[in-house]
Amino acid sequence: MIQCKDIVKIYKTGEIETTILKSVSFQVKEGEFVAIIGPSGSGKSTLMNILGTLDVPTSGDYFLDGKNVAKYSDDELADIRKNKIGFVFQSFNLLPRATALRNVCLPLVYAGLDRNEREERGKEALSRAGLGAEHYHHYTNQLSGGQMQRVAIARALVNRPSIILADEPTGNLDTKTGEIVMETFQELNFQQGHTIVLITHERDIAEYADRIITVRDGSIVEDRKNTRKKIGIAGVDDRQKI
């Protein structure tokens, strides 16, 4: 599904060049859950931006579903983001004056779906993300941090993307809530078949994935399979409370 070949990213400031990524190559198969881990400044966020087509490599090739999107125009990249990729960020990026359901349905407005279909798909996405129906019409300031992150996950799911990219999704959460959110990602991958690529600097969070790629100084220094933590530590009722 994803194939990066000799990806290089160089930023220029005047005559100064800074190399962020150095000939990065790896693949992600359909249905994998991959964590990319590294310290601040390692290049992992730049790599995530390229995977999400928010940025393009200076050189090298990025194949998505067999197509070299590194050479696509801005409009073509926007179409990929709209149809193939769901994003989950550390900051939830939710509209404060909108309900959970409306936040999730918003991308479908731009997709041109009618209201009934938007709401049906929005509720389906919220259910798959583990948020109880009693919270669908709550405003975001009435939700806990964990609930808000599950709304953000549902928003990433609502367009039915083939890939979910999560950038430090537990960074604003306490340890227990972070565990619950990571179990949600595991369920989306293991039980629902979503391909997930997660960026983190926390080893404990990376351990939830079934493969861990370590990035340091712009290069991949380790790519290993992982015996991941078991899902289902918390029950559904517990998830709704956090």
Q: Is the pLDDT of residue 233 over 70?
A: no
Tell me which residue has tokens 């994003």: 87
- The CATH number of 29-59+81-241, from 3.40.50.300, 3.30.360.10, 3.40.50.720, 3.40.228.10, is 3.40.50.300
Taking the model in full, what pTM does it have?
A: 0.87
Structure confidence at residue 190 as a pLDDT band (50, 70, 90): confident
Structure confidence at residue 230 as a pLDDT band (50, 70, 90): low
The whole-angstrom separation of Cα 11 and Cα 49 is 14
Take residue 39 and report the two structure tokens written for it: 């310290």
The whole-angstrom separation of Cα 112 and Cα 207 is 39
Among candidate residues 28, 42, 147, 157, the one with its CA nearest the CA of residue 92: 147
Are 29 and 194 in contact by the 8 Å Cβ rule? The answer is no
